[in-house]
Structure 1
Amino acid sequence: MSSSIKNLSDFSHLEVGNAEGLKFAIVVSQWNAQVTGALLEGAITGLKKHGVNDGDMEVLQVPGSYELVSGSDIVLRNKAFDAVITLGCVIQGETRHFDFICDAVAHGIANVAIKYNKPVIFGVLTTDNLQQALDRSGGIHGNKGEEAAITAIQMALLSQRFPSV
């Protein structure tokens, strides 16, 4: 959990590993594009920083965060990737719609990961307001897109160490 005094996108203390040759899909929501565009930039930067070539990442856009689940399923059903990064942003409104969407997306992404035995990374911001989302998509709390990329690299490398039987 981020705090008002800490940028959590500092990975200087981690041994992330070399991701050269690994293949990543980034499924990104078009809804709240100002935020998700910045998350996408962060994810691409994070992947490239650790050796991923442009040809080893594929970006797929879906309408909203709810569609991240089926987008991830479609991409894994049709192409081999070492990990999928999902990027979205759901901002609290005046109704319970926020709760239903956040719950469905979290469970759906977990289910896709289990179905394909592949890392599917939850890079979805669930914030109370736009400012919190901006703070976490390149603002004072770092970029959760880059954090999702680092997580994807670490999980893909772990998956290579322990392949399915």
Structure 2
Amino acid sequence: MASELKNLSVFSTDHLPDISHRQFAIVVAEWNAEVTEALFSGAYQTLINYGAKAENIVRGNVPGSFELSLGAQWFAQRTEIDAVIALGCVIQGETKHNDYINHAVAQGLTNVGLQTGKPVIFGVLTPNNQQQALDRAGGVHGNKGDEAAMTAIKMLGLQQQVYSL
């Protein structure tokens, strides 16, 4: 796995945009709450650490990762929201449900971003077991929530660059 080679909480912070006036939505799956709450904490704190104002961050909960796409779409359709971060965790388990859910969520979130022209960030862990999830939700491999928030910030910077040409 890529995160075994890289800490998810370590990233370049060169040339980050000013996000003090930007509004973010964080959509969090309630399923696997121990993991998703840690992801939320990481994403929220990263946004704050890099200049977002607490009043410009809104949270929405959905029952599970499958519902992240629709939750993200509802937020992305709001004109005041600049970027959406979707956080979830689908552990492989004994059946292939994870293959179907992960593919559907990835495709759904991609579609929302393409339809709205806004950054919609895939912050969904897809581990083989609970320990791997915890390792990537603030454990030995960092926090995917941190990475997802930084991705949103960087995509807003790219958007600003593209539209100012």
Indicate the TM-score class for this superposition, using the shorter chain for normalisation.
over 0.9
Q: Is the 8 A contact 1:88 1:124 kept in 2?
A: yes
User: What is aligned with 2:134?
Assistant: 134
Distance 1:70 1:10 in 2: 30
User: What is aligned with 1:14?
Assistant: 13
Distance 1:38 1:137 in 2: 6
Q: CA RMSD in A?
A: 1.5
Paired residue secondary structure (1:91): coil
Query: How is 1:15-164 mapped onto 2 (pairs within 5 angstroms)?
Result: 15=14, 16-163=16-163
Corresponding position: 1:2 with 2:3 = yes
Distance 2:94 2:120 in 1: 30
> How many angstroms does 1:163 deviate by?
3.0
Per-residue Cα deviation, 1:53-107 (whole angstroms, up to 9, x for no partner): 0111100001000000000111122342111000000000111111000100000
Distance 2:13 2:157 in 1: 14
TM-score, normalising length: structure 2:
0.93
Distance 1:63 1:8 in 2: 25
Q: Which amino acid aligns with 1:63?
A: P
Distance 1:153 1:46 in 2: 10
TM-score, normalising length: structure 1:
0.93
Distance 2:154 2:110 in 1: 17
Distance 1:120 1:81 in 2: 11
Q: Is the 8 A contact 1:92 1:129 kept in 2?
A: yes
Q: Is the 8 A contact 2:8 2:136 kept in 1?
A: no
Per-residue Cα deviation, 1:4-44 (whole angstroms, up to 9, x for no partner): x6423113x43134321111100110000000000000001
Q: Is the 8 A contact 1:17 1:50 kept in 2?
A: no
- Using the aligned pairs only, state the percent identity: 52
Distance 1:81 1:51 in 2: 16
Distance 1:87 1:39 in 2: 7
